[in-house]
Amino acid sequence: MNALHLPLWAEGLVAALLIIGAAFVLIGSWALVKFSHFFNRLHGPSKASTLGVGCVLLAAALVSFWQGQASGRELLILLFLFITAPVSAHVLVKAALRLRPDERPQPPGPESNR
C-alpha cells in the first residue's frame, strides 16, 4: 500500500474520485447488458466507461502528485483514451451500418419536431 501518507482531505478526494469512476464504469457495462439494440448499447462503454476510467486515472495522478512523484503520465494516458474512444465508437457505428443498412434510423425531418 503506497498511498498511506496522504493528508485526510486528499485521501477523501481520491476516494471520492475512485468511487465515482467505479460507479461510471459499472453503469457503462450495465448499459451494455441492459439495452436492446446495438446503437443503444454503444452509448454505455463509449461515454460512461470512458468517463469512469478518466476519474480513476485522475485519482492515480493525484496520489502520485502528493507523493512527490508527479510526472503527468496518467494524464497523458487519460488524454489518449479521451481521444481514441470517440474514434473507435465511430468505426463501430460505421461497421454496424455497413452490416445492416436497414437499421439506420430515419433522419429528422421538418415534421418530426411536432
Partner 1 sequence: MKLLPVLLPWILLVLAVAMALAGWRLLRGPTLPDRILALDALYIDALALLVVLGLYSSSGVHFELMLLIGLLGFIGTVALGKMLMRGDLVE
Positions touching partner 1 (CB under 8 A) are: 1-4, 6, 8, 11-12, 14-15, 18-19, 21-23, 25-26, 28-30, 32-33, 38, 41-42, 44-46, 49-50, 52-53, 56-57, 59-60, 63-64, 73-74, 77, 80-81, 84-85, 87-88, 91-92, 94-96, 98-100
Grid cell of 49 as nine digits: 466507461
Closest CB to partner 1 among 36 and 113? 36
Residue 40: CB partners within 8 Å, gap ≥ 6? 31
In the complex, least distance from residue 23 CB atom to partner 1, rounded to whole angstroms: 7
In the complex, least distance from residue 35 CB atom to partner 1, rounded to whole angstroms: 10
In the complex, least distance from residue 68 CB atom to partner 1, rounded to whole angstroms: 13
Closest CB to partner 1 among 4 and 108? 4
In DSSP notation, 51-112 reads: HHHHHHHHHHHHHHHHTT---SHHHHHHHHHHHHHHHHHHHHHHHHHHH-GGGPPPPP-TTT
Closest CB to partner 1 among 2 and 112? 2
In 3D space, the residue among 26, 7, 10 whose CA is nearest the CA of residue 58 turns out to be: 10
Q: For the chain, how big is the Rg over CA atoms in Å?
A: 19
